[in-house]
Amino acid sequence: MIRHETLNPPPHIYPVNPWKIIETAFYPRFLAQTETIFSVGNGYLGFRGNFEEGRPTVQNGTFINGFHETWPIVYGETAFGFAQTGQTMLNVPDAKVVKLYVDDEPFYLPTAMLQIYERTLDMQSGTLDREVLWETPSGKRVLIESRRLVSLSQRHLAAISFQVTVLNDHAPVVICSEIVGDQPNQSGDKDPRQSKGFIHNPWITEDHYGRKNRLMLSHRVKNSGMVLACGADHHIETECEYSRSSSCDGVYGKVEFSVDARMGKPIQIFKYVAYHTSRGGASPQELCERCERTLDRALKLGFSSLVKEQRTFLDDFWQRADIEIEGDPEKNTRSAGEMQQALRWNLFQILQACARAEGTGIPAKGLTGQTYEGHYFWDTEIYVLPFLTYTTPRIARNLLRFRHSMLDRARKRAREVNQVGALFPWRTINGEEASAYYAAGTAQYHINADIMFALRKYAEITDDKSLLFNEGAEMLVETARLWLDLGFYSERQGGCFCIHSVTGPDEYTTVVNNNAFTNLMARENLWHAAQTVQFMRENFAEHYANLVHRTGLAEKEDQHWQEAADRMFIPYDEELRIHPQDDSFLDREVWDLKKTPKSHFPLLLYYHPLVIYRHQVIKQADVVLAMFLLGDEFTREQKHRNFDYYDPLTTGDSSLSACIQAIVAAEIGDEEKAVKYARYAVLMDLADVGGNVKDGCHIASMGGTWMVAVYGFAGMRDFGGNISFDPRLPEMLKSMRFALTLRGQRLEVKITHEKTQYTLGGGDRLQVTHQGEELTLSIGETIERPNRPPPIPEGHEK
């Protein structure tokens, strides 16, 4: 089902460019979108793409990953075990403001006469640059050049260079650099995806001071008890005369430079900004001191060194993570160019969402918006971790360790919902379940299996035994316990192990029995737990003893997991020869998507949930996702039939769908659909396919676009850690190249229509399979193989 029609990023706003997103004019109509598109961040700190002058803005946003307020969830009618505490990532004090006045007139984009306007997000340098030539009403031509970065190498630091030159005259110029606290939080009453917020003012003012060029303020958050300090310091370079004043109360601080600007003489301000936060353990004073140290170091280093560091960090990232695609000059090069630009921007935004997410997860919107309240979902493990595991395993490891840090709360949560083992929260910041809607929240038990699936891939691809035997094994034991407790052996199903009253990934079908995705993934989780425990018992006695100590693991537990997995019920309909999404899915009435007005999507905003639930209509890939993740458990025929059945029912109302549909379409040889879905996924945000990029980036879909390229077009599969390729380069592309990091080795892959080249760029020896043929690569070696044509889709044979 393909609903969306607008698929091209507005070219007049973002001309095609392989490494840059360039806004060539100021379009107030696109203000909300561009605030997201031009976001910069490092996974700890994120700035929306608001202008330095602070206005105009739709959502002025500055976010710190995991920095949140809690609030009691109030239910009209409550029930036992409902989640109790809401969590919302806060919009923290905004330190990116630098206001400009010339002849006491404020620089304000909507009314300014602009002779030049260009804003560029440079994905190689990691900077957001803007060049504006403003002609004031009195005829003064003022050149404003700014550059902003959130440092990838210095977690707590951001910096802005702001240069003003009056080109044709002299003028009094005031540059006022601010920190503005008490920012509003997004609150969407009608759209359930938006942040619910809370009504109280969450901030308690703590230490604050202004000293010379330095500003400092700190706050404590009322309910969560978290503490934040934010500081800024400045350095000015100019030949013009100037004076400076500063002040800082609890919520607002400024350093103001009043300059007698001389014709053609630049005035350059460097603003360094530091944020430090704590869950409550460190006092505001201590955090102010940390900001002081960060600022001292930044001043010493200077802006240009920070720019250099940023470039080095990104060179390293792109060297590992880039996907280069080349369009066919005779076919649609423009669209290949767009794809390249959007793909890189997606990968760049993922990096910005997690590079320094140390001790936190990845919010569904990264640090680009408050929608979904800054919560962590399965998005991280299923959609983003594959990219990270294969390109930046350090970050993947941090994220898995972060999940482990929630294990005690997951154990507690399992007790709250009357189970044993551990149940990870469907959505959370602090480890507690924050989903107030259990049908599409808590009931998504598959989150347990998703996390364990990501762990398995990570461990196989990196060979990181330490993580597997420590944090990993402990999580495996507790999640396996949950599954064993949750399901039961059903006599009516021939003694098979059934799991009832759960919700799968498709949130348009809830609280069902035997959701195929959940059962398949739970089976995988149980097998994986049993195998790991047995392997440790036989080969790593010390680790095993440790595990027993930490989990109270009993002698035969793994055998029970194994048995439940072996006897897992997997729904299958003999007549249709498909896997029903769950026990009752096929009994429901089919939703008539063709007759549904376009204006009524996403359905969740226009129909009561019960109307949706009683139909066969799918929000996002469910069985189709299982066919990708666990592709070796389906036959080719099943893949065709399942895809053909579910695809027309899938609305794609979740951005997590298109990428998966593209991968499976590519696998079954439906190039047309593969390309269409791939374009939806890749352009999801840059072209605003879902119409809500204003609320932030869809980080999961962005991770999905890497998967579309590598699993979809390169046809990579990694079952059991064995890497195989079955390339399916679509016609619109001429070539594609990328690199993977496999057990510390670097594999470079280049695909054209005719052949594929594999090079072992670093490492020792590596085995990969190309269309069924095993290849062994030695260091530095390139092996080239022709590509067999893709299979003809069923029903299209001559």
Catalytic residue positions, numbered: 507
Torsion angle (degrees, nearest 10) of CA 701, 435, 398, 349 = 30
Amino acid (one-letter) located at 397: R
Binding mask 550-589 for ligand BGC (x = CB under 6 A): ----------------------------------------
Q: Which of residues 314-353 bind ligand BGC (CB under 6 A)?
A: none
Shortest reach from residue 494's CB to ligand BGC, in Å: 32
CB nearer to ligand BGC: give 272 or 377: 377
Amino acid (one-letter) located at 495: G
Q: Does 433 sit near ligand BGC (CB under 6 A)?
A: no
Q: Does 185 sit near ligand BGC (CB under 6 A)?
A: no
d(CA 29, CA 58): 11
CA 103: distance to chain centroid? 44
d(CA 723, CA 743): 12
| Span from 133-141, 376-384, 557-565, 630-638 in contact with ligand BGC (CB under 6 A) | 376-384
CB nearer to ligand BGC: give 363 or 712: 363
Shortest reach from residue 649's CB to ligand BGC, in Å: 15
The helix or strand, by DSSP H or E, that contains position 212, with its residue range, turns out to be none
Shortest reach from residue 605's CB to ligand BGC, in Å: 11
Q: Which of residues 680-709 bind ligand BGC (CB under 6 A)?
A: 700
Residue 263 Cα distances to 141, 161, 170, 260, angstroms: 10, 20, 5, 10
The answer on whether 619 is annotated among ligand-binding residues is yes
Residue 26 Cα distances to 14, 31, 146, 670, angstroms: 11, 8, 15, 41
HEC per residue, 683-718 = HCCCCCCCCCHHHCCCHHHHHHHHHHHHHHHCCCEC
CB nearer to ligand BGC: give 13 or 623: 623
Shortest reach from residue 264's CB to ligand BGC, in Å: 51
119 with 128: CB under 8 angstroms?
Answer: yes
Amino acid (one-letter) located at 559: Q
Q: Which of residues 647-676 bind ligand BGC (CB under 6 A)?
A: 654, 656
The most distant pair of C-alpha atoms in the chain lies apart, rounded to whole Å, by: 90
Q: Which of residues 759-778 bind ligand BGC (CB under 6 A)?
A: none
β-partners of residue 762 are 746
Q: Which of residues 74-103 bind ligand BGC (CB under 6 A)?
A: none
Parallel/antiparallel/unpaired status of strands 589-590 and 615-616: parallel
| Span from 316-324, 377-385, 408-416, 513-521 in contact with ligand BGC (CB under 6 A) | 377-385
CB nearer to ligand BGC: give 66 or 505: 505
| Span from 5-13, 153-161, 374-382, 451-459 in contact with ligand BGC (CB under 6 A) | 374-382
Question: What one-character DSSP code corresponds to residue 417?
Answer: T
48 with 369: CB under 8 angstroms?
Answer: yes
Shortest reach from residue 425's CB to ligand BGC, in Å: 12
CA atoms within 13 A on the CB side of 745: 23
Residue choice 38, 270, 345, 378 for contact with ligand BGC (CB under 6 A): 378
Give me 370's structure tokens.
């408050």
The helix or strand, by DSSP H or E, that contains position 517, with its residue range, turns out to be helix 516-539
The answer on whether 378 is annotated among ligand-binding residues is yes
- Measured between its terminal Cα atoms, the distance across the chain in Å is 26
Q: Which of residues 615-644 bind ligand BGC (CB under 6 A)?
A: 619-620
CB nearer to ligand BGC: give 163 or 380: 380
Shortest reach from residue 651's CB to ligand BGC, in Å: 11
CB nearer to ligand BGC: give 377 or 738: 377
708 with 659: CB under 8 angstroms?
Answer: yes
Shortest reach from residue 698's CB to ligand BGC, in Å: 7
CB nearer to ligand BGC: give 26 or 372: 372
The answer on whether 379 is annotated among ligand-binding residues is yes
Residue 366 Cα distances to 118, 276, 695, angstroms: 25, 19, 11
| Span from 7-15, 118-126, 371-379, 511-519 in contact with ligand BGC (CB under 6 A) | 371-379
579 with 623: CB under 8 angstroms?
Answer: yes
| Span from 30-38, 290-298, 373-381, 768-776 in contact with ligand BGC (CB under 6 A) | 373-381
Residue choice 377, 483, 517, 634 for contact with ligand BGC (CB under 6 A): 377
Shortest reach from residue 387's CB to ligand BGC, in Å: 16
CB nearer to ligand BGC: give 379 or 671: 379
d(CA 616, CA 625): 17
With CB under 6 A as the rule, give the number of residues binding ligand BGC: 12
Q: Cα 777–781–784 angle (5° rounding)?
A: 80
Shortest reach from residue 27's CB to ligand BGC, in Å: 28
Amino acid (one-letter) located at 655: S
HEC per residue, 576-599 = CCECCCCCCHHHCEECCCCCCCHH
| Span from 60-68, 293-301, 372-380, 556-564 in contact with ligand BGC (CB under 6 A) | 372-380
CB nearer to ligand BGC: give 364 or 678: 364
Residue choice 23, 53, 292, 379 for contact with ligand BGC (CB under 6 A): 379
Residue choice 26, 44, 317, 372 for contact with ligand BGC (CB under 6 A): 372
Shortest reach from residue 656's CB to ligand BGC, in Å: 5
Residue 356: closest CA among 148, 66, 129, 89:
66
Binding mask 488-527 for ligand BGC (x = CB under 6 A): -----------------x-x--------------------
Q: Does 364 sit near ligand BGC (CB under 6 A)?
A: yes
Give me 766's structure tokens.
């590596």
CB nearer to ligand BGC: give 372 or 711: 372
d(CA 706, CA 450): 18
The helix or strand, by DSSP H or E, that contains position 153, with its residue range, turns out to be none
248 with 209: CB under 8 angstroms?
Answer: yes
From the annotation, which residues make up the binding site for substrate?
378-379, 619-620
- Binding residues (CB under 6 A) for ligand BGC: these are 364, 372, 377-379, 505, 507, 619-620, 654, 656, 700
